[in-house]
Structure 1
Amino acid sequence: MAAGAVYGWAHWCFQGPSAPPAWLAWAGGGLLGLGACAVYFARVSGGRGFFGGLLLAAGLLASVAAADRATARSEVARCAVREVHTERLASYGEGGPPRSTVYRLDLRCPGGYPAVLKADRAVAATGDDVRVAYDPERRVSPAVQGDTSPWTAALWATVLLAASTALAWGTRSA
């Protein structure tokens, strides 16, 4: 239920015609998430409550990411890539996630927006043109046109929330 509430709130904030201001969207989403984790932790005791609450929080964040990726970016602009910056992110410890690279493209678009596009893969080189989908209300980040599938985030949300539920269910039978 918490994931449905958080997803619905995020979807409304990202795409609703009467969405709240950004500060209220953040505050409301934060209260929903913290409230769900607090209730979970109060109802499930011990280590299961702690780790289940962490899994719940991660699942709720993944639900917000899925809502972000599912949000329509109704405008498309053909933009020139002025410069590409790459940043290698470190891996922490043995067995941690592998090093990854973040690409930040400085853009020249009609009307001046978007000016920057961030991606987890090389989408264009300096001097190339790229088609960028964006929300004219600027509620979600711009993305390469056709590159916003919510399925990966939704799958992670499902796995994390199922693990959290399994931990909570295990305390009922214990």
Structure 2
Amino acid sequence: MQEEGTHGRWSAVAALPAAAAALVYAWARWCSVGAAPPSPTVAVAGGAVLVLGASPAYAVSVRGACGLFGALFLALGLLSTAAATERTAARAETATCVVREVRAETEASLGEGGAEKTVYRLALDCPGGYPGELKDAPSPLSRGAEVRIAHDPRRRLSPVPAGAAGPWEPALSALLLLTSATVLAAHRRRPQP
């Protein structure tokens, strides 16, 4: 009888990554395209509560190295889920803007190899005055160049170049990380009675 209860508990822990991802997806979707979304402060705080609540719950339930790595995979998977959700949100309008200024910033990588990455930020002149800036432009553009920008007229989503990359990269990362967390929880040995 105790074995059935333990099996049910482990099944629930193994299902935690999928349940947490569904909650994060629903929260991020509501915050980005909902009819009456929360303020940006509440949106970020709510997302943080979901991520920072699910990961320790997982770590405490699974325990040991599997719990530690699974909680890390879960947190990263939930952040990737939020990123994929943001990328799928429709930016209903496009505008042809003129590049007013190009700022190049070099960022050092914290990973192995220490490779540097150049990030371009564009100051824009757009019809109606919005958007005024494009952060993380994919490549340098010269001053005076025209660029098509997709943006959300409600200003809840960051503007992106029209035709920008879809959600596949963060969605695949989320799937891989959440699957890893699920496998770690499912294969964690149950404690002996």
TM-score by length of 2: 0.83
Give 1:121 deviation, angstroms: 2.0
| Cα distance in 2, alignment partners of residues 96 and 44 from structure 1 | 33
What is the 5 A alignment of 1:34-53? 34-53=52-71
Tell me the distance in 2 between the aligned counterparts of 1:101 and 1:168.
39
Q: Please identify, of 104-113 and 21-30, the stretch whose mean Cα deviation from structure 2 is larger.
A: 21-30
SS in 2 for 1:119: strand
1:10 is the counterpart of 2:23:
no
RMSD: 1.7
Q: Residue 35 of structure 1 aligns to which amino acid in structure 2?
A: G
Give the corresponding residue for 1:25. Answer: 43
Q: Is the Cα–Cα contact under 8 Å of residues 122 and 137 in structure 2 kept in the other structure? A: no
Is the 1:70–1:148 Cα contact (8 Å) retained in structure 2?
A: no
Q: Which amino acid aligns with 1:18?
A: A
Give the letter aligned to residue 86 of structure 1. Answer: A
Report what 2:85 is aligned to: 67
How far did 1:123 drift?
A: 5.6
Report the equivalent of 1:110: 127
- Equivalents in 1 of 2:159, 2:135: separation in Å? 8
How far the C-alpha of 1:173 sits from its partner, in A, is 6.1
1:21 Cα deviation (Å)? Answer: 1.6
Alignment of 1:117-128 (within 5 A): 117-119=134-136, 121-122=138-139, 124-128=141-145
SS of 1:72's equivalent in the other structure is coil
| Paired amino acid for 2:157 | V
Aligned partner letter, 1:76: T
Task: Answer whether contact 1:67 1:150 (CA < 8 A) is retained.
Answer: yes
- Give, as a single letter, the amino acid of the residue that structure 2 aligns with 1:65: A
Q: Which structure 1 segments of 5+ residues have no match? A: none
Distance in 1 between the 2:37 and 2:158 partners? 16
Where structure 2 has 5 or more consecutive residues not aligned to the other structure, the ranges are: 1-18
* Partner Cα distance (2:141, 2:90) in 1: 22
1:130 alignment partner, SS class: strand
Greater Cα radius of gyration, structure 1 or 2:
2
Distance 1:68 1:102 in 2: 20
> Partners of 2:62 and 2:190 in 1: how far apart?
12
SS in 2 for 1:104: strand
Deviations 1:3-27 (A, max 9, x none): 1110111011001112112122112
For the 8 Å contact 1:41–1:53, the answer to whether it is kept is: yes
Tell me, what secondary structure is at the counterpart of 2:153? coil
Distance in 1 (alpha carbons) for counterparts of 2:86 and 2:75? 17
Cα distance change on mapping 1:108 and 1:45 into 2, 3 Å: same
Residue 92 (structure 1) shift: 3.4
- Alpha-carbon spacing, 1:2–1:97, altered in 2? closer, same or farther (3 Å): farther
Equivalenced residues, count: 173
Q: Aligned partners of 2:109, 2:32: CA distance in 1, in Å?
A: 32
**One-letter amino acid matched to 1:163:** S
CA contact (8 A) 1:62 1:154 kept: yes
Find the aligned partners of 1:96 and 1:57 in 2 and give their Cα distance: 25
TM-superposed CA distance for 1:130, in Å, is 0.5
